[in-house]
Amino acid sequence: DVKVTQSSRYLVKRTGEKVFLECVQDMDHENMFWYRQDPGLGLRLIYFSYDVKMKEKGDIPEGYSVSREKKERFSLILESASTNQTSMYLCASSFTNLEGTGYEQYFGPGTRLTVT
C-alpha cells in the first residue's frame, strides 16, 4: 500500500525558531511536494523536487527552504518561524512515467504547525 508519512501531526514552536518538517515516501516516486493549506486559500505549493538534490520554487517559497538528499525523503525548513507560518503543512509525492503524463499525488497526513 502506498504510504507517505510526516514526522509530526502537531507541532508548536516559538517565533524565531528553526523548524524542520520531514516527509518520507515508500513508493520510489521521483516527485515530492510541500504545500500549506489555509482556510479560504486552499492548497498552495511551497516547493517541489523532481529528483534527488533538485528543487524548484512553488508559489509561496518565501521564508522556507527544502532539502532532498535521498529519493524517499523531502524536508521542509522554516529558517526563522513566524506567526504567519501557522498552518497545516502537507507533503505529497507522485510518479513520472517516460511519457511524462500526469500522475496523481499521494498525500501524507499533514502537520498542523502553530507558531506562537
Partner 1 sequence: GQNIDQPTEMTATEGAIVQINCTYQTSGFNGLFWYQQHAGEAPTFLSYNVLDGLEEKGRFSSFLSRSKGYSYLLLKELQMKDSASYLCAVWSGGYQKVTFGTGTKLQVIP
Dihedrals phi, psi of 41, to nearest 5 degrees: -110, -15
Q: Is 19 in the site for partner 1 (CB under 8 A)?
A: no
Task: Compute the distance between CA of residue 2 and CA of residue 103 in angstroms, rounded to an integer.
Answer: 14
Only segment of 14-22, 39-47, 62-70, 74-82 that touches partner 1 (CB under 8 A) = 39-47
C-alpha pair distances (Å), 109 with each of 61, 63, 76, 92: 21, 23, 15, 9
The answer to whether residue 94 forms part of the interface with partner 1 (CB under 8 A) is: yes
Span interacting with partner 1, options 12-20, 63-71, 75-83, 90-98, rule CB under 8 A: 90-98
111 binds partner 1 (CB under 8 A): no
Q: Is 87 in the site for partner 1 (CB under 8 A)?
A: no
Confirm if 105 and 92 have CB atoms less than 8 A apart: yes
Cα 21 from Cα 110, distance rounded (Å): 10
Work out the angle at residue 25's Cα, subtended by the Cα atoms of residues 74 and 94, and round it to the nearest 5 degrees: 85
Does residue number 26 form part of the binding site for partner 1 (CB under 8 A)?
A: no
Q: Please report how close the Cβ of residue 4 comes to partner 1 at its closest, in angstroms.
A: 8
Q: Which residues bind partner 1 (CB under 8 A)?
A: 31, 33, 35, 40-45, 48, 50, 56, 58-59, 90, 94, 96, 101-110
